[in-house]
Amino acid sequence: MEGKFAIKPKVLDKGFVELLDFCGTDLTVVNSARVSFGKRKETYETSDEKLVRYLAKHKHFSPFRHLIVQLHIKAPEFVMRQAYKHVVGIETSSSHSTKDHAWNEISGRYVPVEEFYLPEIWRQQSPDSKQASVGEIPLQEEAHERYENAIKLIKHNYEELLKLGVAKEQARIMLPLSQYTEVIWTASFQALMNFVELRDKPDSQWEIRKYAKAVKHVLHQIYPKTSEIWEETFFQK
13 phi/psi in degrees, rounded to 5: -85, -30
Neighbours of 157 (CB within 10 A): 12
pLDDT of 86 > 50? The answer is yes
- Kindly report, residue by residue over 139-171, the tens digit of the pLDDT: 999 999 999 999 999 999 999 999 999 999 999
Catalytic site positions: 199
Q: What is the pLDDT of residues 9-29, one digit of tens each?
A: 999 999 999 999 999 999 999
CATH among 3.40.50.360, 3.30.1360.170, 3.30.70.3290, 3.40.50.10300 for 10-112+178-234: 3.30.1360.170
Q: CB–CB of 75/103 below 8 Å?
A: no
Helix intervals (H) in the chain: 26-34, 46-57, 77-93, 140-163, 168-171, 189-199, 206-222, 224-234
Mean pLDDT, residues 102-123: 94
**DSSP labels for 43-110?**
S--HHHHHHHHHHHHTT--GGGGG-EEEEEEEEEHHHHHHHHHHHHHHHHH---SS-SEEEEE--TTT
* Portion of the chain with pLDDT greater than 70, in percent: 92
In sequence order, what are the residues at sequence separation of 6 or more whose Cβ sits closer than 8 angstroms to the Cβ of residue 208? 79, 82, 83, 199
- 115 three-state secondary structure: coil
Long-range contacts for 124-130 (Cβ within 8 Å, ≥24 apart)? 129/203
Distance (Å, whole) CA 224 – CA 55: 16
All structural domains of the chain with their residue ranges? 10-112+178-234, 123-174
Q: Specify the pLDDT at position 99.
A: 60
pTM higher than 0.85, yes or no?
A: yes
What would the mean pLDDT of 208-224 be, rounded to a whole number?
Answer: 97
Q: Which of 78, 74, 85 is nearest to 214 (CA)?
A: 74
* Residue 5 DSSP symbol: S
What is the share, in percent, of the chain residues with pLDDT greater than 90?
80
Asked whether residue 93 carries a pLDDT value surpassing 90, the answer given is no
Query: Could you tell me if 189 and 218 are in contact, meaning their C-beta atoms sit under 8 angstroms apart?
Result: no
